[in-house]
Structure 1
Amino acid sequence: MTPEAKARLLIDQKLETAGWVVQDQKDLNLGAGQGVAVREYPTDTGPADYLLFVDRQPVGVIEAKRDEAGHNLSVHETQTERYANATLKWRKGGTPLRFLYEGTGQIIYFTDGADPAPRARELFHFFRPQTLADWAAEPDTLRRRLTRMPPLPERNLRDCQINAVTGLEQSLAKNKPRALIHMATGAGKTFTAITSVYRLLKFGGAKRILFLVDTRNLGKQAQQEFMAYTPPDDGRKFTELYNVQRLASSNIDPHAQVCISTIQRMYSILSGTELAETSEDISLNEVGQSNAQAKLVQYNPRVPIEEFDFIVIDECHRSIYNLWKQVLDYFDAFLIGLTATPDKRTYGFFNENVVAEYSYEQSVVDGVNVGYDVYEIETEVTRKGATLVAKEWVDHRDRKTRARRWAQTEEDTAYGATDLDRSVVNPSQIRQVIQAMKTAVETSIFPHRKETPKTLIFAKTDSHADDIIRMVREVYDEGNAFCKKVTYRAGVDAETGQSVAGDDADSVLANFRNDYHPRIAVTVDMIATGTDVKPLEVLLFMRDVRSKGYYEQMKGRGVRSLDAEALKKVSNSADGAKTHFVLVDAVGVEKSLKTESRPLERTPTLSLDNLLKGVAVGARDADTVQSLGNRLVRLAKQLDDKALARIKQASGGIGLQDLARGLVQALDPDRVLADALDAAKAAGITRSQDTVTDAELDAAGRQRVDAACQPFDNPALRDLVESSRRDREQLIDIINTDSVTRSEFAAQAQANAEAAVGRFREFLETHRDEIAALGFFYAQPYRRRELTLDMIDELHDALSRPPLMLTTEKLWTAYARVQESQVRGSGVRRQLTDLVSLVRFALGMDEELRPFADSVDKRFQDWVFRHNARRATAFTPEQMEWLRLVKDHIASSCRIERDDFDYAQLAGKGGLQRAWHVFDGQLDELLAEMNEELVA
């Protein structure tokens, strides 16, 4: 089949699914249906590829091209117009044909000749015959009507809303297909959108408008606002004038002028996928999109592309850019985006056509919203993490069932902030944060309130939320009504996907807004965005947020203004209107948006993760292989069938039990001996059990171990095994009690940071002649080789004693706050040698403050490059392995001497004697050079 024939076949199929009867010219029968597409219809300028008849009248033409021409269809517009203006055979007179198509079967362009400035636009599919009949019967096209919209009545509208509606209508009058309205949370985006929808229906003659949201809850809110809306030029409610349908099935009411739907439901209708019960309850921006969902949208005759004239996309910064963008590509409709937090994708998607812009800062100035203060709470465990040592007796809590078992830990478990409340739960850390918030609210934030202000806590997971709720009730000495969880997940856990019970979210939210109880609500993401709770005065972040846009939306829950009377209804001791809210930051969320996220440094232990990585890089001694095998045997007994199936798939069909068995059996002496005998026999050598050599046994053992370890070369398998162990259970750490290290307003923290930096600089200048380490930095360059860990320890001791109390950790945090753009590694646990970097930065020797180990790494790379360039031969792989060990020792101790080869990894590699041999007597020279170069 030629490319042209393939294109014609696809065009035929699409026309037929849209309700057209496709005929050859010789079989012409205009009575065969309402719409007839005739191939190769003769005109006085040649045969038209397709001539379109509706109700026996010619209305349009299709110029068909092969797929290869799809990238350049616009060059064929002249040809289409020629056929549209031609004289048709067997017909007399007539006006030019109005509806013009160019298509390849894959790509379709359409132009309506009756538009004010006819402009081609790309379509997903062909229009139905009835649609063209309806358009032909109308005196004006939609786009012509949009150029004649009447003036907007400004009564009861804010200036920002007037600007948004008029800006949108000006954009539509210019036939711009996409428009973005950027309005701060609380400024009335939905009210503004409904005002526009009303005018587009009444004056623009729109047939039907889709109001698209991404959670069921936002759909309910939108429906309530439509029901409450009264137009400025009519005393009746919107829903008394127009039918509004909130879509709960795949059936669109033919009499509905407004259809409210989640993008999930519309995608399921168009793609033919099942809509899970809870899929409309969580923003798709949060849950992501799996390959299982990646199904293409197909033409649905029950929902044709012309079903909606306009699509209003509420909170359009979410969900519309990936898989679900197909919903927006499907319909031939103007797209109108609403958002408080646009990002680069948003501007790009809407063709940078921002028709109205009203920032949060401006809304505060205008009194539309309230401002906020930041209060910071920091605890020892939140900042530094902790370690559960092996063999500690603690609770192990199953994520799926919440069941607990009392058992010893299998390995040392070092955890940091990112692990908290995921793999490890530290009740003391939760208690200290809640207690610190309670104390701060009662003494500093709202000291004159008799009741707890309405407070929203953002948790990491449903499990974390449950832990917080229990702790809040305990710390506040209150009952169940005081603190509630809000979730629309219909019982779905954020991490496990398992069902969990919960209160009805609508009831809890209504009570939270309007009643005394609950005073505190805890949520994962249900009311993170879009849900209006005006009395909120405190937001506590116990989860970090990577997305700046999502974080702004979460903050937006507190910005709503509220008059004194309404606030007193739920907080009786409030002495006026809501003037501000307080963001309590217990995880560094304010700071994390501005700095690079860094993993916490971990203490090396014989963890499952390290065992897996060890065998992957060649650590295949008997102890390591045996330990890994035994660990996997225990893990296989603990995991559920679903987790075991995932591991089996990732390993190429080998189950976890068989992987473990292979490791253990690889060390079985009898099996190794049998393999050695088989290898000898295959080589034509006669061996008995007593005559097998040690070399043959070693070779057989290595081969068996390598075969057993080979699956773990796959990093995906290693990650899956480790994550399965980690995700199955949470360790409940009651061993490491926590303590609050800082609880203060952010402005106070800034002042304290500046004061700490100032005291540090003053100390360096004042004591430059008294402390050996300072002499090192102030002296000439050749003295730098004398810096030792003892000198750094002496300096640290002097700084950390009263009255300064300046630890390395505190100084680094202070610089991160004062000179943020010049500080790196803020999330890394501090080492004593980092004090070297602090001093160098304070004295202006370095332009950036970065961990000492990072600086040593960089200098090491430069030194090796220069050294290899000067030598006839570069360092050997074994020499480089030794040099890296020396470099790591210098990074942790500032210098290295011969005696240091008796310690740790250096001794394990053969110590000084082996190093001396590897470097052929040049070791002392290299050590001296590295001590000077890497620390300088």
Structure 2
Amino acid sequence: MSEPNKTPEQIARDRIDRMLTQAGWSVQDKNQIEFGRAKGIAVREYPTDSGPADYVLFVERKPIGVIEAKRPEMGQNINVVAEQSAKYATANLKWIKDNKPLPLLYESTGEITLFRDERDPKPRSREVFWFHQPQTLTEWTQQSQTLRARLQKLPSLATDGLRKVQVEAITRLEESFKAGRPRALIQMATGAGKTFTAITSIYRLLKYANASRILFLVDTKNLGEQAEQEFMAYLPSDDNRKFTELYNVQRLSSSYIADSSQVVISTIQRLYSILKDEPLDEAAELEHPAEHRLTRKEPLPQITRELLDAVDPDRIDQKARQENNLPSDAEPDEEQRKQAASTLAKQATAVFNGELNEMLENIRRSHEQVIDNQNIDKLVRAEWDGDARENAEELTREFADFLRENKDELLALRIFFEQPFRRREVTFQMLQDVLEKLRTDRPKLAPVRVWEAFAMLDDVKGTSPVSELTALVSLIRRVTGIDGKLTPFSETVNRNFKTWIFRRHQGAGEKFTEEQMSWLRMIRDHIAASHHLERDDLELAPFDANGGLGKMWQLFGEDMDRIIDEMNEVLAA
């Protein structure tokens, strides 16, 4: 909305004045200059031999840059006025003895602002969201070369310890930097070592290009913790010290960013809250930001469950019996199953409207892998990498030692080591205590990372843990000897559940009804994810949506507590 009695040029300059003031500049008229008022002075209509410059920037009385102001209508074509700002930057400034070309140039409408450093190898304007602070520009002008100039001198990449695809990714990224194209995307297949590649590139930027600070952005807190552990474990090929011994790495858990931090790990959610100067709900960091855009009230896990139910033969049979009023032990025919499957599919997909479909497609594209079918790799030799195996053995030994050292302090570990027959008593909170101890004392022993080490040593392929907690359970079982080989806890629970149901249904005794089986499967899934079921858990998802504690009592009566205890014991065996 335009302001009354002001021209577009005046409106633009008012906005620019406000932006400069908020960035720490003292905005002054040419006839009322007071250099002592602030470190950074922005002088309006400063006289030069090419005419008055809209703004000349001074830091500690020294001119370092100019701003060319334009009305908002010029926003789409503001880059065409670069020649005007360059003209004033090379002009002779009045009242200045040793005139030299000014290196820092801005063009701005107050809404769109472009910046360039004339000292760059190939100076090019780029959009910035605000004017830089005087201190920042001082630091830049005191450097003998700009960052883009230093990028031109990155040494050749040492390929020791890197896969071919990682060498290609880093080499091409640095070629892009040297060509003045700072925006680049590295796209690699799952398991190709993207994080390791990123850290190697970051190490080179810090060491050889003297980068001052690098932002490592993730979309969930869990990924941030994993990245932090990767930085802590990273050992450069040209130094015997780890990355975190050479450079300061900070994972943000608040809005505070230490001045000494050279790598800052942050979730998108936390960075946005810092930029907006708004408090952050800690729970927002636990899931992908896009999940909040779902238009239905059901949480994402509930939607996922409904999608899985639509293809689950047991759920389809249950739905077919309900729709056709069949007894609980009757087998629906093929046509009844098809109709039930169609009903479940319609219910599950009702949430997918146009906006959500577009969002999912964008997410799919961002994770899409490009497969080269023309240049097929040729296997030259297949064998274990010696260093990788030694590192895996060292990591697993360190993890096992940690468990043994803390078994007297942590009840869950004491039970697993000394009284394994009491495993049914190990609660979710007990396991959380072990996780917190790991995160605080030994963050490099992240369960998922240790899982990968055991998987290599035990030759376990094609499986991965559902969560950090279930990975921890499997690892504790492996270290304590309950499992002779690394086994996903969910597989253990499912196997024990099938055996338990088979034994209960043997003979002519009473068998569980279909509705009871539905509840037993929910309990099975809960134990697979949390190791233990408490009575109070029945008032939480997914049980609450199916009637909660009261419904289970209605279905099982006085046997309810006995069944819960029995399942806690048998399924975790």
The equivalent position to 1:280 in structure 2, one of 251, 264, 285, is: 285
Relative to structure 1, the CA distance from residue 568 to residue 149 in structure 2 (aligned partners, 3 Å threshold; closer, same or farther) is farther
1:730 corresponds to which residue? 546
- Note if contact 1:381-1:417 (Cα within 8 Å) is conserved in structure 2: no
**How far apart, CA to CA, are the structure 1 residues paired with 2:122 and 2:446?**
50
Report whether the alignment pairs 1:217 with 2:222. yes
Q: 1:481 offset after TM fit, Å?
A: 5.5
Offset at residue 388 of structure 1 (A): 3.5
The letter of the residue matching 2:45 is: E
Structure 1 counterpart of 2:313, from 362, 374, 379: 379
Give unpaired runs (5+ residues) of structure 2.
1-5, 296-310, 329-339, 352-419, 439-444, 472-477, 495-541, 553-573
2: distance between equivalents of 1:378 and 1:480? 34
State the one-letter code of the partner of 2:232: M
- Residues of 1 paired with 2:133 and 2:425: CA distance? 55
The one of 259, 269, 272 equivalent to 1:264 is 269
1:25 offset after TM fit, Å? 0.4
Alpha-carbon separation, structure 1, partners of 2:260 and 2:166: 29
Is the CA contact (8 Å cut-off) linking 2:448 and 2:465 kept in structure 1?
no
What SS does the aligned partner of 1:111 have? strand
- What aligned pairs does 1:100-499 form with structure 2 within 5 A after superposition? 100-288=105-293, 379=313, 381-382=315-316, 385-386=319-320, 388=322, 416-417=344-345
2:80 to 69, 75, 80: 75
Q: Report deviation, 1:271.
A: 0.9
Task: Give the drift of 1:256.
Answer: 0.9
| 2: CA distance, partners of 1:393 / 1:378 | 20
Asked if the contact 2:219–2:269 (Cα under 8 Å) also holds between the matched residues in 1, the reply is yes
| Residue pair 2:147, 2:211 contacting (<8 A) in 1 also | yes
Mapped partners of 2:459, 2:422: distance in 1: 23
TM-score w.r.t. length of structure 1: 0.36
- What amino acid maps onto 1:416 in structure 2? L
- The CA distance in 2 between the partners of 1:12 and 1:185, in whole Å, is 49
Greater gyration radius: 1
1:55-94 to structure 2, matched below 5 A, reads: 55-94=60-99
Give the match's secondary structure for 1:388.
helix
Q: Distance in 2 between matches of 1:380 and 1:254?
A: 58
Deviates more, 1:90-99 or 1:11-20: 90-99
Matching residue's letter, 2:322: L
Give the share of equivalent positions with the same residue, in percent: 46
Q: Quote the offset at 1:87 in angstroms.
A: 1.2
Find 2:44's aligned residue among 39, 43, 50.
Answer: 39
Instruction: Tell me the CA shift for residue 730 of structure 1.
Output: 3.0
Contact 1:10 1:105 in 2 (8 A): yes
Q: Deviations 1:335-392 (Å, cap 9, x if unpaired)?
A: xxxxxxxxxxxxxxxxxxxxxxxxxxxxxxxxxxxxxxxxxx8626437943637999
Per mean C-alpha deviation after superposition, the further-off stretch among 209-218 and 506-515 is 506-515
Q: State the one-letter code of the partner of 2:206.
A: L
Please state how far the C-alpha of 1:30 moved relative to its aligned partner: 2.0
Q: Using the alignment, how far apart are the partners of 2:288 and 2:156 within structure 1?
A: 37
2-structure distance, mates of 1:170, 1:162: 12
Q: Give distance in 2, aligned partners of 1:268 and 1:242.
A: 26
| Equivalent residue, structure 2, for 1:572 | 484
- The question of whether the paired residues in 2 share the 8 Å contact of 1:22 and 1:37 is answered with yes
CA distance in 2, matches of 1:289, 1:20: 43
Deviation of residue 416 (structure 1)? 1.7
Q: Deviation at 1:250?
A: 0.7
Q: Distance in 2 between matches of 1:14 and 1:133?
A: 18
Displacement, 1:574?
A: 8.3
Letter matched to residue 134 of structure 2? P
Give the CA deviation at 1:503. 4.5
Distance 1:513 1:50 in 2: 55
**Secondary structure, in 3 states, of the residue corresponding to 1:195?**
helix
C-alpha change, 1:91 and 1:269, in structure 2 (3 Å) is: same
Distance apart, 1:285 and its partner CA: 3.1
1:267/1:79 CA distance change after superposition, 3 Å: same
After superposition, the Cα gap between the structure-2 partners of 1:502 and 1:267, relative to the gap in structure 1 and judged at 3 Å, is farther
Q: In the TM superposition, what is the alpha-carbon distance from 1:122 to its structure 2 partner?
A: 0.5
Number of aligned positions between the proteins: 381
Secondary structure of the 1:239 match is helix
Q: Secondary structure, in 3 states, of the residue corresponding to 2:286?
A: coil
Question: Could you tell me how far 1:134 is from its partner in structure 2?
Answer: 1.0
Given that 2:115 and 2:128 are in contact with CA atoms closer than 8 Å, whether structure 1 keeps it comes out as yes
Query: What residue identity is the alignment partner of 1:72?
Result: N
| TM-superposed deviation, 1:139 | 0.7
Pair 1:285–1:485, CA change in 2 (3 A): farther
Q: Matched residues in 1 for 2:53 and 2:227: separation? A: 48
| Separation in structure 2 between the aligned mates of residue 173 and residue 120 of structure 1, nearest angstrom | 16
Structure 1 CA distance for aligned equivalents of residues 25 and 136 of structure 2: 12
Letter in 2 for 1:254: D
Q: Secondary structure at the match of 2:64?
A: strand
CA distance in 2, matches of 1:540, 1:224: 18
| Residues 512, 392 of structure 1: alpha-carbon distance in 2 compared, 3 angstrom cutoff | farther
Which structure is higher in strand share?
Answer: 1
Deviations along 1:126-156, one digit per CA (max 9) or x if unpaired, are 0111111111111100001001101111111
Mapped to 1, the partners of 2:482 and 2:264 lie a distance apart of 35
Give me the whole-angstrom Cα distance separating, in 2, the residues matched to 1:235 and 1:416.
Answer: 58
Q: Distance in 2 between matches of 1:540 and 1:208?
A: 34
Deviation at 1:42, TM superposition (A): 0.7
Question: Would the aligned equivalents of 1:34 and 1:55 in 2 still touch at CA under 8 Å?
Answer: yes
C-alpha change, 1:114 and 1:513, in structure 2 (3 Å) is closer
Instruction: Give the whole-Å Cα distance in 1 for the aligned partners of 2:137 and 2:281.
Output: 37
SS of 2:152's equivalent in the other structure is: helix
Would the aligned equivalents of 1:50 and 1:63 in 2 still touch at CA under 8 Å? yes
Structure 2 SS opposite 1:43: coil
- Point out the structure with the larger helix share: 2
Query: Separation in 1 of the partners of 2:312 and 2:242?
Result: 51
- 1:96 positional shift: 1.0
CA distance in 1, matches of 2:69, 2:269: 34
- Residues 23, 381 of structure 1: CA spacing in aligned structure 2 closer, same or farther, 3 A cutoff? same
**Contact 1:15 1:21 survives alignment (8 Å):** yes
Counterpart-to-counterpart distance in 2, 1:48 and 1:510: 58
Query: Which string of whole-angstrom CA distances, capped at 9 and with x for unpartnered residues, describes residues 282-337 of structure 1?
Result: 122333389xxxxxxxxxxxxxxxxxxxxxxxxxxxxxxxxxxxxxxxxxxxxxxx
Q: Could you say what secondary structure the match of 2:80 adopts?
A: helix
| SS of residue paired to 1:139 | coil
Asked whether the equivalents of residues 246 and 260 of structure 1 are also in contact (C-alpha less than 8 Å), the reply is yes
Change (3 A) 1:26 1:194: same
Task: List alignment gaps of at least 5 residues for structure 1.
Answer: 291-376, 395-411, 424-477, 491-500, 520-532, 542-553, 559-565, 585-725, 735-936
Q: Which has the higher contact order (CA 8 A, sep 6+)?
A: 1
> Could you say if the C-alpha distance between residues 534 and 107 of structure 1 is closer, same or farther in structure 2, counting changes exceeding 3 Å?
farther
Query: For the Cα contact (< 8 Å) 1:514–1:570, is it kept in 2?
Result: no
Q: Which residue does the alignment assign to 2:501?
A: none
TM-aligned CA distance change 1:118 to 1:45, over 3 Å: same
Q: Secondary structure at the match of 2:114?
A: strand
TM-aligned CA distance change 1:177 to 1:513, over 3 Å: closer
1:869-908 deviations in Å (ceiling 9; x for gaps) = xxxxxxxxxxxxxxxxxxxxxxxxxxxxxxxxxxxxxxxx
The Cα of 1:14 is off from its aligned counterpart by 0.5
Q: Equivalent residue for 2:332?
A: none
CA contact (8 A) 1:535 1:570 kept: no
Please, what is the CA RMSD of the aligned residues? Answer: 4.6
The amino acid of 1:572's aligned partner reads G
Q: Residue 255 of structure 1 aligns to which amino acid in structure 2?
A: S
Change (3 A) 1:276 1:154: same
Contact 2:226 2:446 in 1 (8 A): no
